[in-house]
């Protein structure tokens, strides 16, 4: 238990609750300690049928953000202060996964891949799902301030229920941006987005 506390020293409240729920000895206890409004992520046997690009490690938002209710900002740490939301580093993952090894064979296999990369000191090469061409600029922080910290779903869909991230809206289409800017009376000057 002491090791656990030390390893998890940097983990935020939501994350800690998640791990403690997971680390409890019996599956029943695990269930009863899961946050009340969390979803139960389904068991997935056919990953080939999931939408979105296949990632090098099968990292599931429906488990982390849905079932264990880890805040988006715990991992996408700069979303309200910078144009780039931030992709979590290995350290963020390993704060939990030095301890959490997985409860079934498929999660153990995926977590083992993560631990191997950690040992080799290699980052995970995630495949990007949403991106704009270089001539267009999208500042996350401005949108989060105006639309609120839970506005992610407006553009990305309900990621907390996605086993694998896929594109819900055509965020990489100028019309998508302009439609909302018109509705909300935000500037449509070309130079706002193109510079
Ligand atoms: C706050 C704690 C926490 C953090 C941070 C965390 N995880 Fe997890 N992770 C868990 C828990 C709890 C489970 C559920 C384990 C189980 O029941 O098998 C899990 C399961 C997994 C699994 C197996 C199930 C699945 O998703 O396919 C993988 C792979 C995984 N995590 C990868 C990652 C990666 C990569 C990161 C960093 C981007 C990360 N985790 C960050 C707690 C965490
Ligand atoms: C435990 C860490 C963790 C948490 C919590 C988390 N994410 Fe992520 N997120 C990742 C990682 C790692 C990736 C890159 C791999 C992937 O696409 O699955 C990612 C990718 C994404 C992407 C796709 C990025 C792209 O390539 O375009 C979106 C959108 C996203 N997350 C939104 C969210 C939202 C919204 C929440 C909260 C509901 C959330 N994330 C919670 C770790 C996390
Ligand atoms: C108004 C629409 C909108 C909202 C709201 C929004 N995003 Fe995004 N997101 C985008 C667009 C557009 C991109 C592609 C940006 C680019 O290529 O520069 C993106 C890209 C991302 C990426 C990939 C970044 C990378 O470096 O790989 C992540 C992760 C992400 N968003 C997370 C979030 C999270 C978490 C929230 C909520 C806190 C959120 N977004 C809210 C539109 C949005
Ligand atoms: C769901 C609504 C919505 C969508 C979709 C949206 N925006 Fe915005 N955007 C806003 C709001 C609201 C503001 C005003 C923020 C403020 O007042 O600071 C804003 C502000 C901006 C700004 C700063 C404007 C300034 O005056 O400095 C830029 C740049 C921007 N958006 C680019 C984009 C791009 C690029 C896209 C598409 C990828 C996009 N937005 C999609 C709602 C949206
Ligand atoms: C709110 C943000 C925003 C504003 C304002 C905006 N654009 Fe765009 N524009 C984008 C985004 C995002 C893309 C990239 C996606 C695409 O090609 O549709 C883009 C793409 C383009 C393209 C390339 C299309 C292609 O097929 O490659 C041109 C040309 C363009 N914009 C011109 C303009 C002009 C001219 C204005 C002013 C009248 C303007 N844009 C205003 C966001 C914006």
For 34-75, the three-class secondary structure string (H helix, E strand, C coil) is: CCCCCCCCCCCCCHHHCCCCCCCCCCCHHHHHHHCCCCHHHH
- Give the pLDDT band of residue 3 (cuts 50, 70, 90): very low
Confidence (pLDDT) at 2: 36
User: Of the candidates 183, 180, 161, which has an alpha carbon nearest to the alpha carbon of residue 65?
Assistant: 161
Confidence (pLDDT) at 72: 97
Average pLDDT of the residues in 166-170: 96
Average pLDDT of the residues in 139-156: 96
- Give the pLDDT band of residue 38 (cuts 50, 70, 90): confident
What are 98-133's pLDDT values in tens digits? 999 999 999 999 999 999 999 999 999 999 999 999
User: Of the candidates 123, 19, 27, 13, which has an alpha carbon nearest to the alpha carbon of residue 63?
Assistant: 19
pLDDT surpassing 70 at residue 28: no
- Ligand 4 pocket: which of 180, 182, 185 to mutate (most atoms within 8 A of CB): 180
Distance 174 CA to ligand 5 centre (A): 5
Window from 34-38, 42-46, 60-64, 91-95 with minimum mean pLDDT = 34-38
Give the tokens for residue 182: 């018109």
pLDDT surpassing 50 at residue 169: yes
Confidence (pLDDT) at 36: 62
Q: Which atom of ligand 3 is nearest to the CA of 172?
A: 12
Euclidean distance between CA atoms 195 and 182, whole angstroms:
20
Euclidean distance between CA atoms 16 and 50, whole angstroms:
29
User: Of the candidates 72, 127, 125, 75, which has an alpha carbon nearest to the alpha carbon of residue 97?
Assistant: 75
Residue nearest to atom 2 of ligand 2 (CA): 75
Q: Which ligand sits closest to the CA of 118?
A: 1
pLDDT surpassing 50 at residue 1: no
Distance 89 CA to ligand 1 centre (A): 13
Confidence (pLDDT) at 133: 95
């Amino acid at each position: 238990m002491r090791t656990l506390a030390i390893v998890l020293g940097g983990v935020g409240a939501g994350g800690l609750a998640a791990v403690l729920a997971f680390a409890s000895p019996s599956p029943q206890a695990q269930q009863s300690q899961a946050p009340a409004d969390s979803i139960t992520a389904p068991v997935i046997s056919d990953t080939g049928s999931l939408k979105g690009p296949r990632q090098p490690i099968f990292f599931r938002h429906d488990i982390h953000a849905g079932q264990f209710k880890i805040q988006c900002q715990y991992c996408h740490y700069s979303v309200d202060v910078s144009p780039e939301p931030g992709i979590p580093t290995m350290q963020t993952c390993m704060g939990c996964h030095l301890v959490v090894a997985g409860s079934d064979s498929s999660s153990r296999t995926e977590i083992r891949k993560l631990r191997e990369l950690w040992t080799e000191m290699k980052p995970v090469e995630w495949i990007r799902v949403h991106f704009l061409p270089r001539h267009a600029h999208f500042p996350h922080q401005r949108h989060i301030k105006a639309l609120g910290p839970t506005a992610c779903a407006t553009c990305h869909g309900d990621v907390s229920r996605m086993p694998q991230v896929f594109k819900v809206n055509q965020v990489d289409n100028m019309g998508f941006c302009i439609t909302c800017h018109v509705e909300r009376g935000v500037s449509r000057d070309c130079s706002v987005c193109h510079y």
